[in-house]
Amino acid sequence: MSVAVVTGANSGIGRAVALRLAVDGYDVYGGMRDLGRGSKLATMAAEAGVEVHPLQLDVTDDGSVTTAIDEILEAAGRVDVLVNNAGIGWNSTTEDIDIDAAKLAFETNYWGVIRCLQAVLPGMRERGDGHVVNISSIAGRIAAIGQVPYSGSKWALEALSEGLAQEVAPFGIQVSVIEPGVTRTAILPKNPDYPTPTAYEDQYARMLEFYAAGIMAEVQPDVVAAVVAEALSTDEHKLRWPCAWGGAELIAGREAMTDEEWIGLGALAPDAAAYRARFRELFGLDVDIDLG
């Protein structure tokens, strides 16, 4: 039985992925910072007739990562699949960033991934087999308005993933990057609120309208979990997997537009109607959500 580790497994996409892999026959270890928050995962696993082993794992802490992976290796002997899902959002325009506070976004979304990779790659490399799945975001392919720290951390994760895929290819290790658009998960309300007062109210308003439109689409984390399962099982491996609301549309739209068109869209932010219309024209997505 293949052994899979999923970080941030207590909620949202991580929980859905852990459950899906358990149903698919993996021996799954669900990492989370606080084991006391894993009750819903345990309940859902029991209802599905599977088991997910809860594991205390804080990706921002070197010792926690080392201890967790050592526990898995002692119990299961190997890690075949690592799903780097643990992550946090962070809302801020560049001028508004509280640098010391926002470092947590990179500590979790970027350095946390590296900690986990360094813990499992030696074993995968020695066996000549393994699969790393990094849960990125469409914010890793398109500079999300009003979310510079979050988007920056996900762009960094994309670069890491692309480089990693080349580094480990000679050792038989595969890398997949999952790029969800908006899904209905707990990460959104957990995002730190944007700073006020600010000169960038219009930019934050466009950001909030975008997510409101995505949430209204009601795409559940199970959709992303299904993509992870496909990435792990397909014989036709590919690096990037956009999915969920807006995933494919935003990536394709940005690739098709010029940099000048992108900047021009930003210039329309104070004019909500004009911004929404241009956004629809460029990406084929309706963000006409008036939040008052």
What is the rounded CA–CA span in Å between residue 79 and residue 2? 8
Average pLDDT over residues 37-59: 97
Residue 214 dihedral angles phi and psi, to the nearest 5°: -65, -40
Q: Are 37 and 45 in contact (CB under 8 A)?
A: no
Mean pLDDT along residues 210-216 = 92
CA distance 80 to 75: 14
Is the separation of the CB atoms in 121 and 142 below 8 Å?
no
pLDDT at 288: 87
* Residue 35 pLDDT exceeds 70: yes
Q: Which of 2, 154, 194, 211 is catalytic?
A: 154
**Distances from the Cα of 57 to the Cα of 47, 117, 137, angstroms:** 24, 13, 22
**Does the structure show a pLDDT above 70 at 187?**
no
Q: Which of 110, 150, 194, 275 is catalytic?
A: 150
**If 0-12 CB within 10 Å is exposed, 13-18 middle and 19+ buried, where does residue 67 land?**
middle
For residue 175, list its beta bridge partners: 132
Q: Which CATH number fits the domain 3-200+218-253, given the four candidates 3.40.50.300, 3.20.20.140, 3.40.50.1820, 3.40.50.720?
A: 3.40.50.720
pLDDT digits (tens, 9 = 90+) for 130-154: 999 999 999 999 999 999 999 999 9
Per-residue pLDDT, 195: 79
Task: Read off the pTM.
Answer: 0.95
Which of 2, 92, 136, 151 is the catalytic position? 136
Q: What is the mean pLDDT of the chain?
A: 95
Establish whether 136 is a catalytic residue: yes
Per-residue pLDDT band at 13 (split at 50, 70, 90): very high
Secondary structure (H, E, C), the chain: CCEEEECCCCCHHHHHHHHHHHHCCCEEEEEECCHHHCHHHHHHHHHHCCCEEEEECCCCCHHHHHHHHHHHHHHHCCCCEEEECCCCCCCECCCCCCHHHHHHHHHHHHHHHHHHHHHHHHHHHHHCCEEEEEECCHHHCCCCCCEHHHHHHHHHHHHHHHHHHHHHHHHCEEEEEEEECECCCCHHHHCCCCCCCCCCHHHHHHHHHHHHHHHHCCCCHHHHHHHHHHHHHCCCCCCEEEECECHHHHHHHHHHCCHHHHHHHHHCCCCHHHHHHHHHHHHCCCCCCCCC
Give the position of tokens 């962070």: 90
Known catalytic residue at 200: no
Residue 238 designated active-site = no
| pLDDT of 75 | 97
pLDDT at site 185: 72
